[in-house]
A and B are shown apart, each in its own frame.
Chain A
Amino acid sequence: MSADVTTALGVDWLLADSLAPITEGDVLQPLYDGAALGELVLPFCSYCALPLDLEQQVCDGCGGHDIAWSRVEPAGIVHAATVMHRREPGLVLASSPYPILDVELGSGHRLVMTTAEPEPSAPAIGDPVHVTFRDLGGVQIPSARPILDPSVTTRTALSQTEARS
């Protein structure tokens, strides 16, 4: 009985806590610090504002090496999507296949994430998503929430969808 209560309170819908990232001193610590406050924080070049890869140390646009982690609009579009059927025992708790999305954010970054809650299928390439967080072992992990009505999404995300199609 008590085990069930624990499960209901603190456990991610998808993964075991053992997969929680080590945040302290990690290169992605600014992302996790922002996520703990419910904000999506990603790296930009402080000189030319180019969106950078998560572990990038030097800007490939201007050569700057000062990284500014800044809050971004938690919305984007699906760049690629798969449904993962293989569920590794001991690591994956979900009882059915789960989505993995590569999301292109309005900020220009791309971030791989699963969904905030179980979904019967993955959204399609070009679909808009909202970014929220899952709690995995006390660490907030960016996760997607499909937007069923595309008119709800940001103008930025929509214009990018159109630009590419």
Chain B
Amino acid sequence: MTTSGRVDLVGLGMTEMSITPGAAPQELAREAVDRALADAGITRADVDGLLVGSSQGIRPDRLGVAFAAQGGFGDLRLLEHVEIKGATTIAMVQRAALAIAHGQARTVVCLFADAPLVAGKGAGSTYAHSGGQSGTRGLERASGVLGSVPTYALLAQRWMHVSGARPEDLGAIVTTQRAWAVDNPAAVARKPLSEDDYLASPLISTPLRRLDCARPVNGAVAVIVSNDAAIGHPVRLAVRGTGRSHPVRHRRAGAESWFGGGRRAVDDALEYAGMSRSDLDVAELYDPFSVVTLMLLEEYGLTGTARAGDFVRAGETGRGGSLPTNTGGGQLSGFYLQGMTPLVEAMIQLRADGGGRQVPDASVALVGGIGGRLDHHAALILERAA
């Protein structure tokens, strides 16, 4: 074995992203791991670390550390269930990279599986019925806040009020991302979308329409992190920097309830990488709702002096733009597998495997993750190794 001074992403495996109920999370996880190992050209015997992530609340059989045994792994030096909601994926890569850099593991599988779609219920219904009857969430549900859409709708209204963004900016995000998804075989919605198509989409919670919301899927992704130069996919992707920000907000007069405070994650990741925003070729952001992309582009300082709505409507996040963003269609048109969605697309772009949606010469990617109600931000800078 040859140890590299770098920590790289050396393997990627994903299941089909299914919009119909099917396999349990453990079965999906097994399939994703098998594909990632094959992609990296290794077997389970080469793995000494396993990090697992799964979403809370929807299924009692969520993936956990028991998957080490369920999934056929041997003795490990690193095994954790990582949980900071939507920021989990980047936290896993960060944890793996740190462990490897400190000699505490060598080849780590980061795994996320989710199967929110169950027989007999739509995704919206499943989320509407989850959340319980206790605490603040119980009081909110007793006030009609069912599922996560109404909270993000309140956020959207507030963001538009504060930033001057307009409902048509949301439409621009949706149509731009759909244009990317057209050439993504893994995307769940690939039909080109006009502004009129967007406006015909039914309102869920003003201003959010059905097309402003992510498409939950059943699926799993495994990513392999290693400093072993003898293994891995021929195109190695270096972990250049990571950053986190956990703004602790209090919902009271004088403060915003849902935004502000995430930018430091991106600043820290770039500083660690020795890069600046102008070095970014693509941005893959966590976008459960269109308004989140609109907001994060601005909050992360990715639009220069422009307002995000103007930036998007000028085509800067689309093909040929200055910062192609969510180039697989994101979670809106691609698939909603939480933090894995942006990470997968960044890896595909940097490997130049993007086919019809490939961004020419993409070599540096920003991957973002958010969790909770914008309570957790994580950023990752990946670079295609020379």
Contacts and interface: CB of A to CB of B under 8 A. Distances in A.
A149 interface: no
Interface string B137-178: 011111111110111011111100100000000000000000
B142 A82 contact: no
Contact of B143 (A89, A110, A114, A125): A114
A86 B147 CA distance: 10
A75 interface: no
Given A28-B136, A81-B154, A86-B149, A102 B257 contact: yes
B125 interface: yes
Given A85-B205, A88-B128, A114 B144 contact: yes
Contacts, number: 141
A52 to B, nearest CB: 7
Interface string B69-101: 000000000000000000000000000000000
A88 B136 contact: no
Given A26-B134, A79-B257, A113 B202 contact: no
B127 to A, nearest CB: 9
Nearest to B128: A88
B206 A85 contact: yes
Interface in B249-304: 250-254, 257
B133 interface: yes
Interface string B194-205: 000000001111
A48 interface: no
B158 to A, nearest CB: 4
Given A82-B153, A100-B154, A114-B144, A27 B134 contact: yes
Interface in B87-131: 124-125, 128-129
A69 interface: no
B257 A100 contact: no
B141 A102 contact: no
Interface residues of B, number: 41
Contacts of A100: 143-145, 150, 153-154, 205
A102 B155 CA distance: 10
Interface string A22-60: 100011100100000000000000000011111110001
B135 interface: yes
Contacts of A102: 154, 158, 257
B212 to A, nearest CB: 12
A27 to B, nearest CB: 5
Contact of A28 (B125, B139, B206, B252): B139
A19 B129 CA distance: 9
Contacts of A31: 139
B52 to A, nearest CB: 28
Interface string A52-85: 1111100010000000000000000001111111
B142 A20 contact: yes
Given A100-B145, A112-B154, A82 B135 contact: no
Given A80-B257, A84-B205, 10 more contacts: A26-B135, A28-B134, A81-B157, A82-B207, A84-B149, A85-B202, A85-B205, A100-B144, A108-B253, A142-B139
